[in-house]
Amino acid sequence: MRHYSFFFFIIVIILCSGCSAPKTPLEIRFAEAQKAALIKAGVREYTPDEYQFYLKAYSNAEANFLTEDARFRYFKDFSSVRDQYRMLLGKGNMLLARINKIKTDKAEGIEKRIYTLKDRIESLKESTSNINEGRLVRKNLSKAEFLLTQAGFLLKNEDYDGAEANLKKATDLSKESTRIANSILSRYADKNQIAKWRGLVDVTIRESKNRRIVVFIVSKIDQSLMVYKNGKKLNSYDVGLGRNGLKDKLYAGDGGTPEGRYFIVKKNAGSRYYKALLFNYPNEEDRLRFAQAKKRGLIPARTGIGSLLEIHGGGSDGMTKGCISLENKDMDKIYALASEGTPLTIVGSTNGDNEILSYID
């Protein structure tokens, strides 16, 4: 009997010697590559919970493979292991698709915010380009533009956190610029203030009509000097203002251009600024406001009210200390029309729909 058993064993060995052991499923290598791809794609950050389920399935599949692989080579059967890894690969592919969708949505959201802020900044720059007070605004906006450029570069490299950080800084600068601009220009959108300025203009035009004289009207927001004669508008000219010209002048050195009704007190054909027309700032209303502000502690004790403000030549695109400047060729025309006593009315604006105000929140 032992001889038969021995011969049977020999026959099995001979038969099996022509057979090869089952090969390790390729799905295992695919799964290893997929796991690395998931980590590189940011699975831990974007889908941490789903990744834990994936890892559990991965560990189970790996354990089943090791158990099957430990069997005697001719008794190994990887069919169930192969099916398990195929299911794992399917889950991994779904996870990758979900991560890509999250990243695409995130990138599109950041990109949209970058373009929206760029448009906002461009509008702010354009709106404040012609006002002297826009210096700090434009400086902040230039910094914001640089940050947005960096954010765009980081976005292309899928550094979403870096892009978000730069976008936030740029947004903060834009908000600060808007706040500064609003602090300067908000009264130019105030209906009561507009009505007051409009009233001063109407009185001046009626005076021109009733007395049949020339009058000058300056609209600071429009940076324009208008000439009326006999109540009819003759022409208008571009002007430059103080470095803080949109503010109503309160004291010497504040860089503001005054507002109110004035008149020409002296003509100077030999001014250092080509030709000049001195007007009667400060008038009684200016002195009263100055005294009240000083009493309330809004003005330093030794600060004076200022004086010697003029309409003069020298160019309309520069900054003055509070005067009103024109191109020399335009100053020639204004100078010829003016005389001592010619009324001059300076207002912030005559309407509330100037495009400079279009972006004010």
Residues 88-125 have pLDDT tens digits of: 999 999 999 999 999 999 999 999 999 999 999 998 88
Which residue has tokens 């834990």? Answer: 52
> If DSSP codes are grouped into helix, strand and coil, which group holds residue 232?
strand
Ranges of H-type helices in 157-242: 160-185, 191-211
Helical pair 79-128 and 134-156, crossing angle rounded to 10 deg: 160
| Kind of pairing between the strands at 343-347 and 274-279 | unpaired
Phi and psi, residue 318, nearest 5°: -100, 180
% of the chain with per-residue pLDDT over 70: 91
Choice among 184-188, 234-238, 309-313, 334-338 with the minimum mean pLDDT? 184-188
With a cut of 90, say whether residue 298 has pLDDT above it. Answer: no
C-alpha of 279 from chain center? 41
The more confidently predicted of residues 73 and 8 is 73
Return the closest-CA partner of residue 237 out of 268, 260, 216: 216
- Alpha-carbon gap, residue 81 to 100, rounded angstroms: 28
In this predicted structure, what is the pLDDT of residue 354? Answer: 59
- Alpha-carbon gap, residue 151 to 3, rounded angstroms: 84
Query: Is the alpha carbon torsion for 249, 215, 326, 275 positive or negative?
Result: negative
Which residue has tokens 């009704």? Answer: 261
For residue 301, the number of C-alpha atoms closer than 13 Å in the C-beta half-sphere is 0
Query: Which stretch of DSSP H or E encloses residue 324?
Result: strand 324-325
3-state DSSP: the chain helix, strand, coil percent, rounded to 5?
60, 15, 30
Expressed in angstroms, the distance from the first to the final Cα of the chain is 104
Q: Is the pTM of this model over 0.75?
A: no
- Alpha-carbon gap, residue 361 to 357, rounded angstroms: 9
Instruction: With beta carbons less than 8 A apart as the criterion, state whether 279 and 267 touch.
Output: no
